[in-house]
Structure 1
């Protein structure tokens, strides 16, 4: 039986959009998938020339580059380059729009795509504020269109393996959680226009890096079988200020899952994180430790508590679960979009709106309790 391809329009031609487009063109069988097919039919940029350069770079894939399979098998045969995003939204050969623009443009871009009748997969953080996100969700419901935040890590093989361990119950009840995404972006060496520096682009560590400690908090604590609190709140937060532009250099926030445990989450753009531990869930019988990097880890450890000498958990165990060879790790979330749309669903069960709302609410709290130039900023809601 032939599979109807999902026709993608790509918004923005930066680094993350490049990786996403490459992954759409990777042979699905290399990740053991046979029920989806992706093609790219439109690319939107600030100029037609820029869009066409993006397309030409994809078409120039070398033999050993995974997306070369899609180039050879029709994945770009009908692609058009446009000098505006609006032309992508209006293209009748586009089913879904991938939005890879800076954070502060997500709401406007996603809203325009939905208003044009297109499904949307939008990069994280979903929006600048919870108000913006709620407006998009309401619009997706009204238009009966699929809408999902592109939290790629949720769909990686390691995410499912980690959750298998936690659902087995062999670690016992969670006691405390911590997660960190710290990386030295050398901000003093970056131009004012850099995405981590410029407030107009949602600069700072919270919005750019915060989705990663948050995704592990959601996967390891929020999804834990013993968790009954579906609306965990930030109970304390702190932001240090990068004085040159007024964005946050680092952010720390504590989340409480009532009746279960506390989670300590941290981002920092001025120093490197600890390679052996990006996320840690400490439980009654042992700990689960996920190695760096938080966005695409390949290894985690089960570490028994030394004081326990009996029972099932007595030896340290290391589990490797990398993404499949040949793709950047974004193909999995694209597959989720294709499956949901094929089933007529407007929301992903793996990446549901309610959980995007939880994390967006954390960011709002941290941002509005801090002292950065983004404090209280509403974005383009209602516009």
Structure 2
């Protein structure tokens, strides 16, 4: 029988819903050697948590997913059996039937929630950005290590098949040396029509484009440049940055920063909540013999294209190639990161080799550097360490 990880899920918003839905998908459909069970769900009320669980029992689109529906395997195999609706997060952390906690709360409370879970003896998968600042992250890592618990940032993009394929292509040498890259996560969020309480607008919720959107251009920079075998710089830093202020609340409407890997390559990273992203290429990696363009959206792209250089430029590749990786299942493939957590815990590991804590530290430092150099109301906000 496959190893089964028992999950506690805290918060019942959209990201937690997608994660939970993907836990219900038959592992055999992805040739996985681990499985999942939802043991408890925590919300601000028992009713809210129960509504979340009830929705997982229903099938909102049976025609799309087949006669039996997308959750048929889960219902037949007890993935939701005994799932407990909890009116507080602490009740989830205290549940002896919970092995690992998925944290899908707003990022300004990631530190407090993850700390409470770790101190309760639970393994933790925490949504991105890991914490508000580096000081908070370093405290979580220290607690996890002291208690020999697994801890990982939920950068699900890293575990998708397209991410591995992009890295394989770049390291194969077929495109020649990597020169530079751009990664842009823009979306026309239309903030002017949103209420002051909206998470993208409200400073108290860590609003703005940088913290909400910034992990996605960052992950592509890490995959394409930092993990490239030609890179020898273990401490890439932000060398320039700019933030455009959303005057209504003082958060950033857009942020741009440049990261440099010494003696290798640079990345220009962009977030913007006021403009649409470019559909054909939210990531462009410029190489000697051709460009690699990854289609929008950066969180779950479904294709990349090898684009020959202009006829005026050198390059050995002259034919355009499109490589497709269609998204499937309700959550789009969040089960890949869940499987990684399960395997690591099964094997007694306290962190993932694919999403190591040292790389979360690097990208968290980037976000800190950009925020502290900008002029938003979050520039000097203090961490919750010690609270």
- TM-score, shorter chain, exceeding 0.5: yes
Aligned ranges for residues 320-331 of structure 1 at < 5 Å?
Answer: 320-325=324-329, 327-331=331-335
* Residue 191 (structure 1) aligned with residue 195 (structure 2): yes
Q: Given the alignment of the two structures, is residue 258 of structure 1 paired with residue 262 of structure 2, yes or no?
A: yes
Q: 1:37 aligns to what SS in structure 2?
A: strand
Q: Are residue 99 (structure 1) and residue 103 (structure 2) matched? A: yes
Deviations 1:231-286 (A, max 9, x none): 10000000011111110000000000100111100000001011111101101111
Structure 1 portions without partners, runs of 5+: none
TM-score by length of 2: 0.96
Distance change (3 Å), C-alpha of 1:50 and 1:309: closer
Q: Distance in 1 between matches of 2:71 and 2:149?
A: 28
Equivalent in the alignment of 1:333: 337
Aligned partners of 1:72, 1:194: CA distance in 2, in Å?
A: 39
After superposition, the Cα gap between the structure-2 partners of 1:326 and 1:193, relative to the gap in structure 1 and judged at 3 Å, is closer
1:108 maps to what in 2?
Answer: 112
Name the CA distance, whole Å, in 1 between partners of 2:142 and 2:311. Answer: 51
Among 39, 42, 50, the residue aligned to 1:41: 39
Aligned equivalent of 1:30 = 29
The answer on 1:305 being equivalent to 2:303 is no
| One of 377, 380, 385 as aligned partner of 1:376 | 380
TM-score (normalizing by structure 1) = 0.97
CA distance in 1, matches of 2:273, 2:312: 38
State the aligned residue count. 381
> Where does 1:215-234 land on structure 2 (aligned, <5 Å)?
215-234=219-238
Q: Give the Cα separation in 1 of the matches to 2:208 and 2:331.
A: 28
Cα pair distance change 1:367/1:311, threshold 3 Å: closer
**CA contact under 8 A between 1:12 and 1:100: conserved in structure 2?**
yes
- The 8 Å contact of residues 99 and 123 in structure 2, kept in 1 or not, is answered as yes
Contact 2:25 2:329 (8 Å CA) reproduced: no
Deviates more, 1:247-256 or 1:372-381: 372-381
Match in the other structure for 2:281:
277
* Correspondence 1:76 to 2:100: no
Contact 1:195 1:202 (8 Å CA) reproduced: yes
- Return 357-366 or 311-320, whichever deviates more: 311-320
- 2:2 counterpart residue number: 3
- Is this contact kept in 2: 1:232–1:256, CA < 8 A? yes
SS at 2:184's partner residue? strand
Q: Runs ≥4 in structure 1, deviation > 6 angstroms?
A: 308-311
